[in-house]
Amino acid sequence: MSLPSSLTDFSLAEARDAVHAKKVSSKELATAFVKAIADARPLNAFVTETPEKALEMAVASDVRIAHGEARPLEGLPLAIKDLFCTKGVKTTAGSHILGNFIPPYESTVTQNLWDAGAVMLGKTNMDEFAMGSSNETSYHGPVFNPWRARNSNQNLVPGGSSGGSAAAVAGNLCLAATGTDTGGSIRQPAAVTGTVGIKPTYGRCSRWGIVAFASSLDQAGPMTRTVRDSAILLKHMASVDPKDSTSVDVPVPDYEADLERGVKGLRIGIPKEYRIDGMPPEIEQLWQKGIDWLKAQGAEIVDVSLPHTKYALPTYYIVAPAEASSNLARYDGVRYGHRAEGAEDIVDLYEKSRAEGFGKEVQRRIMIGTYVLSSGYYDAYYARAQKIRTLILRDFTEVYEKVDVLLTPATPGPAFGIGEKTADPVSMYLNDVFTVTVNLAGLPGIAVPAGLTENGLPLGLQFIGKAFDEATLFRAARAIETAANFTAKPAHWWRAA
């Protein structure tokens, strides 16, 4: 194994192997990433850095390694999306309403990671309450994509809502990061930052301790630089959790074991409805390239149809805000978080605290959700949307009788400029057009980097799998990764800044 010259260039797998072989200490790794994070503050990828905690955990890991007690992720520094509650470490969900909330508990997913030996570097920036596709709705300000177009100084969005995690992974500020995905919030930023991100099957990772956006759609997943790294990290994020009623009782397999099995004989569906009007030719070409690569590796390509695809996005924009309007009712300035000054009475306290605490997009979605659930509109909106969800899932169920996995583009285009799409909500929502269907159907989806635009910006492809068949997604994504040989890296322009 030839190791990268810089510690921060290690993949998670490389670092794991090096740490276990005692070629690199956990402390060295942590120190390198703590410095990288400090140098990368212009990216605004982190909202809370926890260098002391990182070093403390790393030193403890080194002791375990010395005693031959290394755990699977021993001493590997990770970044955590600020949506995961971390005991004793401020958790804001990118919102002002949580104020200086310090959770007295640890989310199941992060606890699983610490139990596996991982080290926490800090909390990453994100769209407020994970509502956004560009990381521009964060109370802590936008995150800049480490990638810039060739010969351009324009700052681009890193995608959202897990934009901070995506930027941290793409900018080598951590070995890997956690994200969450309600309508594409892992896959879409992964695609526009040239990284790998998987949204597992709903129920695969526990939602306990993750600040809720839309309960029936939210799912945590890994964001990494390689497919193998995602396979490794998901194994240790996922669990069957008695504290989450929607956590599914299916054992977590060793995803890494099957990774190199290839796609020979795999039936890969190409859903025609994903060929949308006005799709940039670059995306179309990338998709075709993906098909060709898979065919060349022995996969069987099958044209399929998912007729309700076009209704997924509007369906999502009823279901997700409805659940959010209820999930976010607890932020009322009474027990924690921001409380407005000078309230005259309790209603005034609520209205002022929430008006001051929630940003514009969150307020808008709460309003949408309240409206679609309100008396007289429930059947026309919410009930109808849930019926269409049934139809969307039925589309997949029927297609999966013919194919094992589906290949689609991950995003309708590459990263765009800061502020370019903030004026029109619907144009912003369209960024999730390829990713959102998967959430509505509860299925797993993975985004894998597949190439660059003419301007040198990364683009990704997406595989959609059967429920609890993440293993096949990793295999298929690995095949694309191998064929694409995506080695491009963003220039570290922020260090000069």
Partner 1 sequence: MSKTIKGQTGDWEIVVGMEVHAQILSNAKLFSGAATAFGAEPNSQVSFIDAGMPGMLPVINRKCVEQAVRTGLGLKAQINLHSVFDRKNYFYPDLPQGYQISQYKSPIVGEGEILLDMKDETIKVGIERLHMEQDAGKSLHDQHPDASFVDLNRSGVALMEIVSKPHMRSSEEAAAFLRKLRSILRYLGTCDGNMDEGSMRADVNVSVCRAGGYEKFRATGDFRHLGTRCEIKNVNSMRFVQMAVEYEARRQVDILEDGGTIVQETRLYDSKANETRSMRSKEEAHDYRYFPDPDLLPLVLDQAWVDDIARSLPELPDEKKARLVKAGLSAYDATVLVAEKESADYFEAMLATGIEAKAAANWLNNEYFGRLNKAGLAITDGPVSAQANAAIVKMVADNTISGKIAKDLLDIVWSEGGDPVAVVEARGMKQVTDTSAIEKAVDAVIAANPQKVEEVKAKPKMASWFTGQVMKATGGKANPGVVNAILKQRLGLPED
Partner 2 sequence: MSVDKDTVRRIARLSRIALPEERCAPMAGELDGIFKWVEQLNEVNVDGVQPMTSVVEQRLKMRDDVVTDGNSANALMANAPQGEDHFFVVPKVVE
Give least dist CB 373 to partner 1, A. Answer: 4
Taking the least distance from each CB to partner 1, the nearer of 210 and 450 is 210
Give least dist CB 220 to partner 2, A. Answer: 15
Strands 445-452 and 458-465 turn out to be antiparallel
463/212 Cα distance (integer angstroms): 25
Listed ranges 8-16, 51-59, 307-315, 320-328: which one lies at the site for partner 1 (CB under 8 A): 320-328
Give the 3-state secondary structure of residue 47: strand
- The backbone torsions φ and ψ at residue 209, rounded to the nearest 5 degrees and listed phi first, read 90, 5
Give least dist CB 108 to partner 1, A. Answer: 9
The reply to whether 214 sits near partner 1 by the rule CB under 8 A is: yes
Instruction: Please state at what angle helix 12-20 crosses helix 227-237, rounded to 10 degrees.
Output: 70
The answer to whether the beta carbons of residues 397 and 389 sit under 8 Å apart is no
Q: What is the DSSP string of 121-154?
A: EEEE--SGGG--SSS-S-TT-PPPPS---TT---
Instruction: Please state at what angle helix 312-327 crosses helix 360-373, rounded to 10 degrees.
Output: 100
The reply to whether 401 sits near partner 2 by the rule CB under 8 A is: no
Taking the least distance from each CB to partner 2, the nearer of 47 and 169 is 47
The answer to whether the beta carbons of residues 62 and 324 sit under 8 Å apart is no
Taking the least distance from each CB to partner 2, the nearer of 216 and 453 is 216
175/8 Cα distance (integer angstroms): 7
Which of 53, 393, 492, 493 binds partner 2 (CB under 8 A)? It is 393
Instruction: Name the DSSP class of 200.
Output: P
User: So which residues are the catalytic ones?
Assistant: 81, 161, 185
The reply to whether 201 sits near partner 1 by the rule CB under 8 A is: no
Which of 96, 140, 207, 352 binds partner 2 (CB under 8 A)? It is 352
389 binds, among partner 2, partner 1, none (CB under 5 to 8 A by kind): partner 2
CA 13, 16, 17, 19: dihedral to nearest 10 degrees? Answer: 150
Give least dist CB 437 to partner 1, A. Answer: 18
**Region 224-253 residues binding partner 1, contact defined as CB under 8 A:** 242-246
> Residue 388's CB: how many other CB atoms inside 10 A?
18
The reply to whether 322 sits near partner 1 by the rule CB under 8 A is: yes
The reply to whether 155 sits near partner 1 by the rule CB under 8 A is: no
Q: Which of 229, 218, 173 is nearest to 196 (CA)?
A: 229
Taking the least distance from each CB to partner 1, the nearer of 153 and 375 is 375
233/239 Cα distance (integer angstroms): 12
Give least dist CB 442 to partner 2, A. Answer: 3
The reply to whether 358 sits near partner 1 by the rule CB under 8 A is: no
Which of 91, 155, 315, 472 binds partner 1 (CB under 8 A)? It is 91
- The backbone torsions φ and ψ at residue 470, rounded to the nearest 5 degrees and listed phi first, read -60, -30
Give least dist CB 384 to partner 1, A. Answer: 13
- Number of residues in contact with partner 2, rule: CB under 8 A? 67
- Cα-to-chain-centroid distance, residue 442: 15
264/287 Cα distance (integer angstroms): 19
The reply to whether 93 sits near partner 1 by the rule CB under 8 A is: yes
The reply to whether 86 sits near partner 1 by the rule CB under 8 A is: no
Which of 384, 417, 420, 493 binds partner 2 (CB under 8 A)? It is 384
CA 306, 311, 312, 318: dihedral to nearest 10 degrees? Answer: -160
Residues that bind partner 1 (CB under 8 A): 85, 91, 93, 98, 101, 103-105, 107, 207-212, 214-216, 242-246, 322-323, 325-326, 328-330, 332, 334-336, 346-347, 350, 370, 373-375, 378, 382
Residues that bind partner 2 (CB under 8 A): 99-102, 104, 202-203, 216, 242, 245-246, 248-249, 308, 310-311, 314-315, 317-318, 325, 329, 332-339, 343-352, 354-355, 358, 363-364, 366-368, 370-371, 374, 381, 383-391, 393, 424-426, 441-442
